[in-house]
A and B are shown apart, each in its own frame.
Chain A
Amino acid sequence: MNTTQTPLPAGNGFLSGTLPILIAAAIFVFFAGLIPTVAQGDVAQWSVPWIPSLGVEFAFLIDGLSLTFALLISGIGTLILLYSNTYLAGHPQYARFSLFLTLFMLSMLGLVLADDLIVLFVFWELTTITSYLLIGFSHTAEKSRRNALQALFVTGAGALAFLAGLILIGFAGGTTSISGIIAQGDVLRDHALYLPIFILFLCGAFTKSAQVPFHFWLPNAMAAPTPVSAFLHSATMVKAGVYVMARMHPSLAGTDIWLWTLTIFGALTAVFASILALRQTDLKQALAYTTLMALGTLTMLLGHSSGYMMTAFVTFLITHSLYKAALFLVVGCIDKSTGTRDANTLGGLGRVMPLTALAAALAALSMAGLPPFIGFIAKELAYAGSVGAASSPVFVTVMALAANALMFAVAGIVALRPFWVAPGGTYTREPAEVPWQMWMGPLLLAGLGTVFGLVPALIQGPFINSTVAGLMGAGADPKTLKLWAGFNLPLYLSLSTFALGLLLYLSHVKMRRGLEAVFTRVPSLDRGWDSFLAGLKALAAWQTGVIQNGSLTFYLAATFSTIAGGLILTMMISGMPFIEVNFEGLTWKTATISVLVAAGAILTTVTNSRIAAVAALGVVGIGIALMFIVFSAPDVAITQLLVETLVVVLVAVVMLRLPAMTRLEFNAKHAAISGAMGATMTVIILAVLSTPLNRRLSDYFEIASWPDAYGRNIVNVILVDFRALDTFGEVAVVVVAALSAYALLRTTKGPAA
């Protein structure tokens, strides 16, 4: 069977299929047009004010580092979109997929171009969110959702630390402009906050770039469709952490803690990941671990500041992006063609899929670091830097050697065996060459790796020199990329790498069994993650049960206690307010009414008879109305009386249907809370009464009521003229209350559905 016999489903249409490819390609062309500018050592800048009060600007800057990234992102993005359009042809959610992928690409571009700490963070988080959507694209699979969430949580948690770090950087540097901070030289390194900045900043970068011990989310993120993995794990997502470390390298690097932290974590990640890569039988998983190895290596290189290390960093960055994207896409082709990614099953595809095999071979040779590929040059430079490392030449060299040898073996497993070794199992379908849209991407990327290896001058000028200049500032000494640098220590190291790698490759099946036995026994962070989440859920359930236990009485008690407690505490802290108790003008009339009101309230509280309660409530209402009459408020008194009448009517009507009240047992705790509330209110009113009254508004209303508003009843004039808008709002509330009550009564009876 071949592709002509099983035509792929019709394309995805222009809008979701072709347009994103064109957008990505246009962006790539735009950035390619900037190469001459950057090659001259110039930078392109553009900005608009965003939050002027904080000095935050939508500032973007294109220098060697950002242009290198921008070209990798948009170039690989174009090829990935082209590839996906065929790989996922006819997928019912392809429109969503291409939207997410395009958004992710744009966020990533924003991230590498941003020249403002806040803008950088916004794009940083946008990549987190869009990558979450991409990893969880197969949302019907539980595993896919879990892994997407894991990536989101780990990188999101790191991002919080990262934000704090960025804010501290902005604070220490006195500006949020990245180029502005870098221009100040040692300001961050000499600042008292350097250590917190360093820790917070690296928390963000390490989680994003999956350094040990935050590495576990990356292999899990392979739940995404293969093109996504190819994009996220070659030049983008995981490189974001590396990017920010490189971006801030001029300001943060050069201290001992930076040197050692990055070296140790990077080296550990690189070696640990390479060993795990060897263990995998799923080609995609194996590649995922080699991505970790690359990230570790890049981090280790960034720990240092020498010309060799920086040159090696940029070269390896480009190298890795090219071969890793190509290899992921090749794995996708194999998967599409044969229906499996199992290294033990695959084999003999070289004749059926010659073009894919060619792409795989070129990319793998670059990955293995063999001449004349760019990977070889990158490795030589890294060795040249390692032997003169500022940290510990022996440690760095040994770690690099181990990682590279393992990489050599993995390259063989991923790209050699499936094509040139006899298959270990049978295929469920007849393999065939994939359509051109799918082999073109990997072949082009792998081919570029070869071309750059043969003619390194192509990338020397525009990318290597300008980026290294950006990383090292004045006094930069970018090294020249050469295939043949003579008989030197790096060459001997390379030769040992090949020998060791070959040995590992030949014995990898046996080693895999051993590794399997070891790793199933050691506790894994990934499994720990599940227990962590389960514990978090249990904690949430527990605290919900305690705080949100569904008891109205509990909520009210908590609310009232908080109010009373807060008020009392405030009074205790700020000192008791001045209180002047003045019973002057007290008459028997008011005293009697007060006692009546208080007695009514108490009777309402203690009685167990509904009728008595309603009657007592009426006494309170009428007593208050009397109070209004005595104290010269006829309008208010009339209103109070009328409303009191209606309250009694409504209560009486409702009580016809409600059961008799149960006995109310005395509750000392509730009595204490209510007593505290009442006492606090009394004290507050007394305190208010002891301050002078501001009658400015009242005086104005009195003077203006008749001449301006032609009304003799000042209260009514306030209501319908001076404050008519307020009154309008209030009557609207009355209408809404009435309609809601009406709707509530007229809905269907019986238990709510």
Chain B
Amino acid sequence: MEPLLAITIGVLITCSVYLMLSGHLLRFIFGLVLISNAANLTIFVAGRLTEGAPPLIPEGADAPLGEVANALPQALVLTAIVIGFGLFAFAIVLVFRAWTSLSTLHPDEMELAEPNYGAHAKATKLALKKDTTQ
């Protein structure tokens, strides 16, 4: 059944990358959420899947009875989910601030810090001219 999940992850990654490339910040955030989920699922699947046997030690035993699910990737994924939420929250606040400050959700229209190439080239040319005349 793992191959099925591998394909699902492939779909998740495809969708998330496409969303991130959309040039729209809200879609970018959606893509970010999807790619976090895909990464978590990848770690989880890599530790193999076990049905109906959570990694718990029953009362009175010193170790799990029989084969139980791999606990290590679960611990990794658990913290990854929380950290992923932190990243998501920060990113969405950033997007929100970008909207209130710059009134656009299209990063390619945000030229405050990075002047567009046309203006940049013009400025450079002027600077060069000034240099060579001296």
Contact present between A and B (CB < 8 A): yes
Q: How far is B134's CA from A677's CA once the two chains are assembled, in angstroms?
A: 52
Q: How far is B36's CA from A206's CA once the two chains are assembled, in angstroms?
A: 58
Q: A678-B12, A702-B55 are in contact. List 10 more A-B contacts (CB 8 A).
A: A530-B132, A553-B107, A631-B49, A643-B82, A657-B100, A682-B9, A689-B46, A707-B62, A714-B55, A727-B79
Known: A632-B52, A636-B44, A636-B77. Is A583-B1 also a contact (CB below 8 A)? yes
**Does A744 have its Cβ within 8 Å of any Cβ on chain B?**
yes
A556 partner residues in chain B, CB cutoff 8 A: 20-21
The 14 sampled A-B contact pairs (Cβ below 8 Å) are: A551-B108, A582-B3, A586-B4, A594-B4, A601-B11, A604-B15, A620-B12, A655-B26, A658-B99, A664-B27, A714-B71, A719-B75, A730-B82, A745-B96
Interface range on chain A (Cβ under 8 Å from partner):
35 or more
Give 1 or 0 for each of B1-38: 1 = CB within 8 Å of chain A CB. 11111111111111111111111101111100110011
**Does A370 have its Cβ within 8 Å of any Cβ on chain B?**
no
Are B3 and A686 within 8 A (Cβ)?
Answer: yes
Cβ-closest chain A residue relative to B23: A553
Q: Most chain-B CB neighbours within 10 Å: which of A549, A702, A715?
A: A715
Are A714 and B57 within 8 A (Cβ)?
Answer: yes
B128 partner residues in chain A, CB cutoff 8 A: 534, 537-538
**Does A673 have its Cβ within 8 Å of any Cβ on chain B?**
yes
Q: How far is B20's CA from A673's CA once the two chains are assembled, in angstroms?
A: 11
Q: Return the contact of A551 from the options B29, B107, B124 (Cβ within 8 A).
A: B107
Are B68 and A702 within 8 A (Cβ)?
Answer: yes
Closest CB in chain A relative to B86 CB, distance in Å = 3
Q: Return the contact of A715 from the options B6, B38, B75, B81 (Cβ within 8 A).
A: B75
**Does A183 have its Cβ within 8 Å of any Cβ on chain B?**
no
Are B24 and A662 within 8 A (Cβ)?
Answer: yes
Cβ-closest chain B residue relative to A670: B21
**Does A193 have its Cβ within 8 Å of any Cβ on chain B?**
no
Are B18 and A738 within 8 A (Cβ)?
Answer: no
Q: How far is B25's CA from A662's CA once the two chains are assembled, in angstroms?
A: 11
Closest CB in chain B relative to A236 CB, distance in Å = 30
B40 partner residues in chain A, CB cutoff 8 A: 624, 640
Are B87 and A557 within 8 A (Cβ)?
Answer: no
Q: How far is B78's CA from A664's CA once the two chains are assembled, in angstroms?
A: 34
Interface size on B, residues (CB 8 A): 104
Q: Return the contact of B13 from the options A143, A632, A643, A674 (Cβ within 8 A).
A: A674
Q: How far is B12's CA from A531's CA once the two chains are assembled, in angstroms?
A: 53
Q: How far is B48's CA from A633's CA once the two chains are assembled, in angstroms?
A: 12
Give 1 or 0 for each of A159-187: 1 = CB within 8 Å of chain B CB. 00000000000000000000000000000
Query: Of A99-107, A212-220, A495-503, A690-698, which binds chain B?
Result: A690-698
Are A601 and B34 within 8 A (Cβ)?
Answer: yes
Q: Most chain-B CB neighbours within 10 Å: which of A557, A654, A682, A738?
A: A682
B83 partner residues in chain A, CB cutoff 8 A: 730, 733-734, 737
Are B19 and A604 within 8 A (Cβ)?
Answer: yes
Are A538 and B124 within 8 A (Cβ)?
Answer: yes
Cβ-closest chain A residue relative to B4: A594
B70 partner residues in chain A, CB cutoff 8 A: 693, 695, 698
**Does A703 have its Cβ within 8 Å of any Cβ on chain B?**
yes
Q: How far is B96's CA from A651's CA once the two chains are assembled, in angstroms?
A: 10
Give 1 or 0 for each of A721-738: 1 = CB within 8 Å of chain B CB. 001001100100110011
**Does A575 have its Cβ within 8 Å of any Cβ on chain B?**
no
Q: Most chain-B CB neighbours within 10 Å: which of A633, A639, A749?
A: A633
Interface of A is mostly: helix
Q: How far is B69's CA from A143's CA once the two chains are assembled, in angstroms?
A: 73
Cβ-closest chain B residue relative to A687: B6
A5 partner residues in chain B, CB cutoff 8 A: none
Are B81 and A647 within 8 A (Cβ)?
Answer: no
Q: Return the contact of B93 from the options A583, A698, A705, A741 (Cβ within 8 A).
A: A741
Are A664 and B13 within 8 A (Cβ)?
Answer: no
Q: How far is B47's CA from A719's CA once the two chains are assembled, in angstroms?
A: 17
Are A677 and B17 within 8 A (Cβ)?
Answer: yes
Give 1 or 0 for each of B79-101: 1 = CB within 8 Å of chain A CB. 10111111111101111110111
Known: A632-B51, A677-B17, A737-B86. Is A705-B57 also a contact (CB below 8 A)? yes
Closest CB in chain B relative to A402 CB, distance in Å = 36
A591 partner residues in chain B, CB cutoff 8 A: 4
Q: How far is B115's CA from A544's CA once the two chains are assembled, in angstroms?
A: 12
A604 partner residues in chain B, CB cutoff 8 A: 15, 19, 30, 34
B59 partner residues in chain A, CB cutoff 8 A: 712
A548 partner residues in chain B, CB cutoff 8 A: 114
Q: How far is B41's CA from A735's CA once the two chains are assembled, in angstroms?
A: 24
A570 partner residues in chain B, CB cutoff 8 A: none
Q: How far is B71's CA from A446's CA once the two chains are assembled, in angstroms?
A: 86
Closest CB in chain A relative to B104 CB, distance in Å = 9
Q: Return the contact of A697 from the options B72, B97, B108 (Cβ within 8 A).
A: B72
Give 1 or 0 for each of A547-563: 1 = CB within 8 Å of chain B CB. 01111110011001000
A730 partner residues in chain B, CB cutoff 8 A: 79, 82-83
Q: Return the contact of B84 from the options A581, A597, A627, A643 (Cβ within 8 A).
A: A643
Q: How far is B48's CA from A738's CA once the two chains are assembled, in angstroms?
A: 33
Q: How far is B26's CA from A633's CA once the two chains are assembled, in angstroms?
A: 31
Q: Most chain-B CB neighbours within 10 Å: which of A538, A685, A702?
A: A685
Q: Most chain-B CB neighbours within 10 Å: which of A534, A582, A630, A714?
A: A714
Are B37 and A620 within 8 A (Cβ)?
Answer: yes
Q: How far is B93's CA from A243's CA once the two chains are assembled, in angstroms?
A: 63
Are A737 and B56 within 8 A (Cβ)?
Answer: no
Give 1 or 0 for each of B112-126: 1 = CB within 8 Å of chain A CB. 101111001100110
Are B78 and A635 within 8 A (Cβ)?
Answer: yes
**Does A621 have its Cβ within 8 Å of any Cβ on chain B?**
yes
B90 partner residues in chain A, CB cutoff 8 A: 737, 740-741, 744
